[in-house]
Structure 1
């Protein structure tokens, strides 16, 4: 087969940028090349129109350890009543979910109403935690010590506490529970507030470095520390940019591991589909967006993936919405076989270019955060926060003006809408209050109705 392919290309000259550019300018008939054909990300990274070469980043995405379950299917649960949450958890485990994500809210407004660790007995009744790990979702104010002790007593070998990278309890819990994932660096807060890809990766790097430093200083080995920290990033419907962003995230976090002497460590990265892209109007279109986002995250090599239900912008999901979210992951794994290929974007000039450019810019911005005091020193007055706010305002203006499209809202809006059932309840708040979440639908509708 290889010999046949070589014969087909014998005698063909490699494409040259200048030759292609001359043909493109001729076809444009005087129109400006940059404004007509060149697109850029919000960080100014060129996206084409075409690339003839790119620096290889190696296999940016990690090797899959399990061909049968190439990434963990983690479903989030927000049912207020513990018994209702238990029913939903058992149904989803039977339907293919492999990890449980618990949103906890003692008041039950936007999560499971639990006040103490003993309440877990109701929520997890009938769940074998040794094969279905339970992870707390970031932003909780739950008894982490009690949760860890309860999970250990229940026979769990893996569990997630989702402590912030700056939490003072980090080191003690990491040493007490070496197989548990103790810290969560929830960088998607930057995405959800309207920040850029580079800003999201820079925050991920800052939080990751701080958590690694805290654990190593307390006596945890670099390799163990890398296994006890989970980085969470957002995945949206821009397939190529999302895929490249996550690959860049692996490059950045690996650089940090090398700096701490953990070359044999492996970054643990989870993706959650974007909340800001979800719409209340015509929520069925959300399934298209989450399909694209889920594909991109899976192809980028995440270790765990959460696909938000289509009713996310409306309220708590019902049985259908949860089922559709988990089945989408099963389709990606068992029908599309996304996990069967190691780093499928490797060698593609577009993805290699985007990956390298995003990683380099993110590293520079990470260094800027470090020079200002690091992750724990971020505040409303910090330069990084001001930059994120400026990016959010620019993004909202693009949707208000119609320069950016949200399908079904400011373009191709369906005249006859079909309702989707959902349960009442609020959305879980941002895990980083400094960066409140926005909804792109609001900006798009404001522009469409003006």
Structure 2
């Protein structure tokens, strides 16, 4: 029946279909596997420690699923999700000067950005060292409508004072400010190994308290003064569990410090903004975001805060860990998938890392593509029109519980060691993350984890991006030097925002920090093992860099001869595999049609003039082929490296005795084989 323009569909019934039980599904899968082991084939163990099941059903979900907007906010902090407020498009901006930053920020906002994202860093952000820099950087930005998120190092109080004064100079009162100055001294500690400014964590806590006092009196809850970043852990190779545990342990440390300074949980919790890194495991990242939101809510309430105060403020940045400088165009695809995870997980703001960030300061094209990823997710994919589309998924709900439980265990371990500061000082947090990073590298080395364009499917014709540089002249002139402790002296009367504001006319951020160190007179000496920023592909990129250097020196790429034996069907699979395997080390291949006799193959290998070759055929034929081939080649060219495609285990000792130097196969450590080969050939 049709009423107006609406057509009423008849009710659909599925009663005719009997529900399939897990046992029935398993039996069907076992039959389809034709003898392959069910448990080994269909269960996937991740480097994070989670084992993914091949199928999930209602019995796997152990926790009641609340509605969106209900405590503990597993499904988001708002009942209507993005329908009531879309996530902020908060793209990070790198610039060589305040003028350059301002130009790029205005461009971002005019082309779809909805927030200004400032990272105070000479190499990966922008240097704003005095009030004049801040006035310039914010010029023309509507601060009443636009959140400004500032990620900084150790100079929290100076930065907050400059932002507030620059806003006033541009015509905006402090109560119009949105976003925040995200002071995260422990995040800086684990990145650098110490807290800059000569005052240790004691001084950082006093700065944090002064910032909190001013914010409570002069801004709304839309403005945060404490940051908790998971990026130092995520970008060092941490598991999802360790990243979440480190974040909530850091937040609890700040919460306790502010309570000791006289502030309540309900005053402090809304002023904390979290930043989470988002990697490439689509569903795990969704679960991680949901688990973090849920755990923080439970912590706030357990500490005496209200359910309203327990609503997390959550920013996300796509992963630097997965950014590759080789074949960087693939980073566009990685960033898109990661952004999708962040949005489905329910973050409040998002920064998609531009595809060229591993090589240079992102150019205009890279920034446009990164921004457009978010615009497409909103405007074309309509992800801002749905409320928690992941809610109720047996897989995601089960995974969320698993991430939450394991993260809580690791948080409790940190707490048992005396809290985050103590755990960083003893190095237990770093030890766990370094172990996970080593395992991630192992997975990449063995190609159990694929990185397209780097350890698989390498395009040797790909031209590298130009590194770029700050222009020598113009608004973006001259990359600045970073801040040092030899800044000019500043005469501070106290450590309030008002005291700092009084000296802003002539002071630099570093000068204020130095003066505060004198006021606080806190003991110095907190040092920890820093966590480096790592990249999953860095080991293969070093191999490829060596191959590029070899080509520049010799005029040609390093090359390997493929000794293909027999008809096409006999050698093609292993020859193709070997070709892809070798390209991950920058090796091109000489790939002839199959040779009819072993002697023909050996003669061609020697005549090629190359230093290495791979025997490509089948296990059934290798017993006849390999010894004869090795003998012929070694007799004519003793120093030629001979590899064999495959790993016929029972014949390996005999083949090694015959002269096979290495084996190329699916379980081989690709990186180590290629590294050894490069060294043998003097690359």
Q: Does 1:149 align with 2:192?
A: no
- TM-score using structure 2 length: 0.61
State the match for 1:87 in structure 2.
Answer: 103
Q: Which moved more, 1:61-70 or 1:270-279?
A: 61-70
Q: Distance in 2 between matches of 1:218 and 1:57?
A: 38
Q: Over the residues paired in the alignment, what is the CA RMSD in angstroms?
A: 2.4
Q: How does 1:208-357 map to 2 (within 5 A)?
A: 208-260=251-303, 261-265=305-309, 266-357=311-402
Q: What is the aligned counterpart of 2:225 among 174, 182, 193? A: 182
State the match for 1:116 in structure 2.
Answer: 130
Q: Does 1:162 align with 2:186?
A: no
Q: Distance in 1 between matches of 2:48 and 2:97?
A: 43
Cα shift readout 1:4-33 (whole Å, capped 9, x = no counterpart): 23x1x1143333222222222222233222
Q: Which moved more, 1:63-72 or 1:322-331?
A: 63-72
Cα shift readout 1:255-276 (whole Å, capped 9, x = no counterpart): 1122122222211111100001
Q: 2:278, 2:319 within 8 Å by CA — same for their partners in 1? A: yes
Flag structure 1 segments of 5+ consecutive residues without an equivalent. Answer: none
Compute the displacement of 1:51 (Å). 0.8
Compute the displacement of 1:199 (Å). 0.5
Q: What is the aligned counterpart of 1:442 among 525, 535, 538? A: 538
Q: Distance in 2 between matches of 1:422 and 1:84?
A: 18
Q: 1:150/1:433 Cα in 2 relative to 1: closer, same or farther (>3 Å)? A: farther
Compute the displacement of 1:305 (Å). 0.5
Name the larger-Rg structure.
2
Q: 2:83, 2:387 within 8 Å by CA — same for their partners in 1? A: no
- DSSP-derived class of the 2:52 partner: coil
State the match for 2:46 in structure 1.
Answer: 41
Compute the displacement of 1:183 (Å). 1.0
Q: 1:118, 1:150 within 8 Å by CA — same for their partners in 2? A: no
- DSSP-derived class of the 2:426 partner: coil
- DSSP-derived class of the 1:97 partner: coil
Q: 1:83, 1:122 within 8 Å by CA — same for their partners in 2? A: yes
Q: 1:401/1:348 Cα in 2 relative to 1: closer, same or farther (>3 Å)? A: same
Q: 1:395/1:45 Cα in 2 relative to 1: closer, same or farther (>3 Å)? A: same
Q: Distance in 1 between matches of 2:357 and 2:154?
A: 19
Q: Which moved more, 1:132-141 or 1:295-304?
A: 132-141
Compute the displacement of 1:353 (Å). 1.1
Q: Does 1:135 align with 2:146?
A: no
Q: Distance in 2 between matches of 1:438 and 1:183?
A: 25
Q: 2:424, 2:529 within 8 Å by CA — same for their partners in 1? A: no
Q: Distance in 2 between matches of 1:356 and 1:2?
A: 37
Q: Distance in 2 between matches of 1:398 and 1:66?
A: 37
Q: 1:207/1:90 Cα in 2 relative to 1: closer, same or farther (>3 Å)? A: same
Flag structure 2 segments of 5+ consecutive residues without an equivalent. Answer: 1-7, 69-73, 187-203, 471-478, 483-527, 544-580, 586-673, 675-683
Q: Which moved more, 1:229-238 or 1:62-71?
A: 62-71
Q: 2:359, 2:465 within 8 Å by CA — same for their partners in 1? A: no
Compute the displacement of 1:388 (Å). 1.1
Q: Distance in 2 between matches of 1:235 and 1:366?
A: 20
- DSSP-derived class of the 2:92 partner: strand
Q: 1:310/1:43 Cα in 2 relative to 1: closer, same or farther (>3 Å)? A: closer
Compute the displacement of 1:351 (Å). 0.6
Q: Which moved more, 1:32-41 or 1:220-229?
A: 220-229
Cα shift readout 1:113-132 (whole Å, capped 9, x = no counterpart): 32123320111111121212
Cα shift readout 1:127-179 (whole Å, capped 9, x = no counterpart): 12121222212436462342343255243422421212653122221121133
State the match for 2:88 in structure 1.
Answer: 72
Q: Does 1:377 align with 2:422?
A: yes
Q: 2:233, 2:531 within 8 Å by CA — same for their partners in 1? A: yes
State the match for 2:439 in structure 1.
Answer: 394
Q: Does 1:173 align with 2:217?
A: no
- DSSP-derived class of the 1:75 partner: coil
Compute the displacement of 1:321 (Å). 1.1
State the match for 2:244 in structure 1.
Answer: 201
Cα shift readout 1:272-297 (whole Å, capped 9, x = no counterpart): 00001111112111110000000110
Cα shift readout 1:278-327 (whole Å, capped 9, x = no counterpart): 11112111110000000110111101101111111011011111111111
Q: Does 1:32 align with 2:37?
A: yes
Q: 2:131, 2:166 within 8 Å by CA — same for their partners in 1? A: no
Q: 1:264/1:92 Cα in 2 relative to 1: closer, same or farther (>3 Å)? A: same
